[in-house]
């Protein structure tokens, strides 16, 4: 038997159900807060929020390669970027986090209660989802995190799943259109998964003609997110696009995109989770709504298998592989398989509660332990290491923040810097432009190729007579090379370690880890008329 809205709990007076829903949403928000409330900035917040701030105020950090590059997430900038005109970046991040986690908690509660309408079960399913998504992903993707476009996109994916359970296909396409506006890939792959669920419904699905208008309206809602993405490489030389794809896939993001580079234990644990989900699906009876969600989750697994097949068939042909692998074939399964496993678990517990009460008690105990232990590990880890995730590679964070604060207070707003390779928060703390940053890769092909060239110029050229992959710090380049780079990229300053000391003008306060050097200004082109040569 299925455990859906026919349960007695669904027939409680409406006022009681509303109060219970408010309690559940609040507690689910608390679960998300406990898991994701790291100090700002999060890994992607330096990327999204500085771009959003520059979008609303182009005079902030002018001349920065990444910030001046083409905009791929304009709906996110429209909805969240305006806050940066009134709030600091940290305040914007926290406001956005609270709103995003609150919306995700509300959407999760709706979906979970539709499948198992029992008080407090939605909280357990949310905690199980967080545990599974954090510990059993394969490609490093997530739903609960800092303020970025995909968190808001997943709100509408969850709402679309609720509509899918109810069989409200018109709402499904409209909601996924909004999800696509916030994040084209997440929304687009979700449309594919919903289409699989629609096809799998067979004769029980509504005719295409009945939902055609909703499909068209969903596409129109998606256009504000799709058009900027399609415009990124419009009219660009195909050879440049291919090279940009190769750089993007194999040099910058293989840990998300190339299955051959995934850690084996990541792959094995994800396969284990898929097996658990399949076992739960076999154990728990399903009605139409439940089956539609299962097909949606199953479609995400099909995407991962397709990505693996592409990687296998194109092995050794990087250009062809990159053209196809850049579409994040593994992203949705990293989120949807944990979602499916968490929801099927509480459906099994509800079934035990009805027919095997003794089993239900032990099952609840095990489920709560499985949910609580990963959350406890996160809390302990955060207490031991309170540094923001975006600064995890910075050796001396206090020194880095001090030097950035000095730069913000003592250099012109339009200054351009050469910065250390292991930092990604220079924009965030200093509010100044940098020639290139490893984390901040542009999204357009021309920008990606230029970004890679700059990285190679600054950090990846092999020192003569050594086997090193690249320079450990900018100080190792020496005065002559840094001055040449300054002239090439019109940089004004260098931030480098104090050892070795450079024969450049040193400015700024004493700092144990960083020195600010002033680069000589590039010579201006002469406007003097040269005498014409004699005939």
| The predicted structure's pLDDT at residue 383 | 84
Torsion of CA 42, 43, 46, 52, to 10 degrees: -90
Is the per-residue pLDDT at 477 higher than 70?
Answer: yes
* Least confident residue range of 32-41, 134-143, 192-201, 523-532: 523-532
* 333: confidence class by pLDDT, cuts 50, 70, 90: very high
Asked whether the beta carbons of 110 and 164 are under 8 A apart, the reply is: no
Is the per-residue pLDDT at 532 higher than 50?
Answer: no
Mean pLDDT value of segment 473-485: 93
Tokens of 350: 């509800």
Is the per-residue pLDDT at 222 higher than 50?
Answer: yes
Is the per-residue pLDDT at 334 higher than 80?
Answer: yes
pLDDT by residue (tens digit) across 97-121?
999 999 999 999 999 999 999 999 9
C-alpha to C-alpha distance for 45 and 226, rounded to whole angstroms: 22
Is the per-residue pLDDT at 389 higher than 90?
Answer: yes
* 12: confidence class by pLDDT, cuts 50, 70, 90: low
C-alpha to C-alpha distance for 126 and 371, rounded to whole angstroms: 9
Mean pLDDT value of segment 292-302: 98
Radius of gyration of the chain (CA): 26
| The predicted structure's pLDDT at residue 461 | 60
| Burial category of 85 from C-beta neighbours within 10 Å (exposed 0-12, middle 13-18, buried 19 and up) | exposed
Question: How many CB atoms neighbour CB 473 within 10 A?
Answer: 17
From the list 113, 103, 211, 96, the residue with the least C-alpha distance to 157 is: 103
* 10: confidence class by pLDDT, cuts 50, 70, 90: very low
Is the per-residue pLDDT at 476 higher than 50?
Answer: yes
What is the DSSP annotation of 470-501? S-SSGGGGHHHHHHHHHHHHT--EEEE-SSSP
Is the per-residue pLDDT at 388 higher than 60?
Answer: yes
pLDDT by residue (tens digit) across 72-87?
999 999 999 999 999 9
From the list 28, 49, 143, the residue with the least C-alpha distance to 91 is: 49
Percent share of the chain, pLDDT over 70? 93
Tokens of 386: 């309170």
Q: What is the value of pTM for the model shown? A: 0.93
Is the per-residue pLDDT at 3 higher than 50?
Answer: no
Percent share of the chain, pLDDT over 90? 83
Asked whether the beta carbons of 117 and 7 are under 8 A apart, the reply is: yes
Mean residue pLDDT across the chain:
91
Place of tokens 């949807």: 336
Asked whether the beta carbons of 416 and 63 are under 8 A apart, the reply is: yes
C-alpha to C-alpha distance for 453 and 443, rounded to whole angstroms: 15
Mean pLDDT value of segment 48-61: 97
Mean pLDDT value of segment 387-395: 93
pLDDT by residue (tens digit) across 157-173?
999 999 999 999 999 99
Place of tokens 């709103």: 99
507 bridge partner residues: 516
Is the per-residue pLDDT at 460 higher than 80?
Answer: no
Is the per-residue pLDDT at 531 higher than 60?
Answer: no
Asked whether the beta carbons of 115 and 290 are under 8 A apart, the reply is: yes
In sequence order, which residues have a C-beta less than 8 Å from that of residue 188 and are 6 or more positions away? 180
Asked whether the beta carbons of 40 and 146 are under 8 A apart, the reply is: yes
Asked whether the beta carbons of 386 and 39 are under 8 A apart, the reply is: yes
| The predicted structure's pLDDT at residue 187 | 97
Q: How far apart are the first and last CA of the chain?
A: 102
Is the per-residue pLDDT at 8 higher than 60?
Answer: no
| The predicted structure's pLDDT at residue 525 | 43
C-alpha to C-alpha distance for 248 and 441, rounded to whole angstroms: 8
* 471: confidence class by pLDDT, cuts 50, 70, 90: confident
Asked whether the beta carbons of 290 and 6 are under 8 A apart, the reply is: no
Distances (CA, A) of 63 to 106, 350, 492: 41, 58, 12
Tokens of 410: 């003592």
* 530: confidence class by pLDDT, cuts 50, 70, 90: very low
More confident position, 6 or 278: 278
* Half-sphere exposure in the Cβ direction for 166 (13 Å, CA): 15
Is the per-residue pLDDT at 266 higher than 80?
Answer: yes
What is the DSSP annotation of 433-479? EES--SS---SSHHHHHHHHHHHIIIIISPPTT---SS-SSGGGGHH
3-state secondary structure of 506: strand
* 7: confidence class by pLDDT, cuts 50, 70, 90: very low
C-alpha to C-alpha distance for 428 and 440, rounded to whole angstroms: 12
Side by side, which strands form the sheet with 433-434? Answer: 433-434, 416-418, 493-496, 515-518, 505-507
| The predicted structure's pLDDT at residue 210 | 84
From the list 298, 328, 112, the residue with the least C-alpha distance to 194 is: 298
């Amino acid at each position: 038997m299925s455990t859906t809205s026919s349960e007695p709990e669904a027939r409680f007076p409406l006022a009681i159900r509303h109060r219970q829903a408010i309690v559940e949403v609040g507690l689910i928000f608390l679960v998300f807060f406990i898991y994701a409330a790291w100090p700002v900035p999060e890994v992607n917040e330096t990327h999204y929020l500085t771009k959003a701030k520059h979008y609303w105020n182009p005079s902030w950090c002018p001349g920065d390669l990444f910030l001046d590059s083409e905009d791929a997430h304009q709906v996110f900038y429209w909805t969240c970027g305006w806050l940066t005109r009134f709030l600091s970046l940290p305040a914007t991040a926290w406001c956005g986090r609270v709103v995003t986690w609150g919306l995700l908690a509300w959407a999760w509660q709706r979906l979970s209660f539709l499948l198992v309408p029992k008080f407090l079960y939605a909280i357990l399913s949310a905690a199980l989802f967080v545990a599974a998504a954090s510990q059993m992903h394969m490609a490093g993707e997530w739903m609960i995190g800092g303020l970025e476009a995909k968190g808001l996109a997943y709100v509408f994916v969850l709402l679309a799943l609720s509509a899918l359970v109810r069989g409200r296909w018109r709402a499904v396409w409209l909601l996924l259109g909004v999800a696509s506006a916030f994040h084209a890939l997440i929304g687009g792959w979700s449309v594919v998964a919903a289409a699989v669920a629609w096809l799998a419904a067979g004769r029980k699905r509504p005719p295409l003609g009945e939902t055609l208008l909703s499909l068209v309206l969903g596409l129109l809602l998606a256009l504000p997110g799709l058009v900027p993405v399609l415009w990124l490489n419009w009219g660009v030389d195909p050879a440049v696009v291919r090279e940009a794809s190769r750089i993007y896939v194999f040099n910058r993001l293989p840990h998300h995109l190339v299955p051959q580079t995934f850690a084996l234990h990541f792959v094995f644990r994800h396969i284990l989770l898929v097996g658990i989900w399949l076992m739960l699906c076999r154990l728990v009876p399903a009605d139409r709504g439940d089956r539609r969600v299962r097909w949606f989750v199953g479609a995400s697994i099909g995407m991962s298998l397709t990505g693996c097949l592409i990687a296998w068939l194109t092995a050794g042909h990087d250009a062809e592989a990159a053209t196809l692998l850049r579409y994040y074939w593994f992203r949705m399964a990293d989120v949807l398989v944990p979602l499916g496993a968490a929801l099927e678990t509480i459906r099994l517990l509800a079934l035990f509660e009805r027919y095997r009460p003794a089993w239900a008690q032990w099952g609840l105990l095990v489920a709560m332990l499985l949910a609580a232990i990963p959350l406890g590990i996160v809390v302990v880890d955060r207490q031991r290491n309170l540094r923001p995730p975006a600064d995890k590679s910075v050796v001396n964070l206090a020194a880095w923040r001090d030097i950035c604060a000095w730069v913000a207070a003592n250099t012109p707003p339009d200054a351009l810097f050469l910065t250390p390779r292991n930092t990604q928060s220079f924009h965030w703390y200093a509010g100044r432009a940098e020639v290139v940053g490893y984390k901040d890769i542009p999204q357009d092909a021309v920008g990606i190729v230029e970004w890679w060239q700059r990285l190679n110029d600054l950090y990846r050229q092999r020192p003569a007579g050594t086997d090193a992959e690249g320079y450990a710090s900018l100080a190792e380049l020496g005065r002559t090379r840094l001055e040449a780079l300054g002239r090439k990229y019109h940089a004004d300053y260098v931030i480098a370690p104090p050892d070795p000391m450079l024969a450049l003008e040193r400015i700024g306060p004493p700092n144990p880890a960083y020195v600010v050097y002033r680069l000589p200004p590039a010579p201006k082109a002469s406007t003097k008329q040269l005498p014409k040569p004699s005939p």
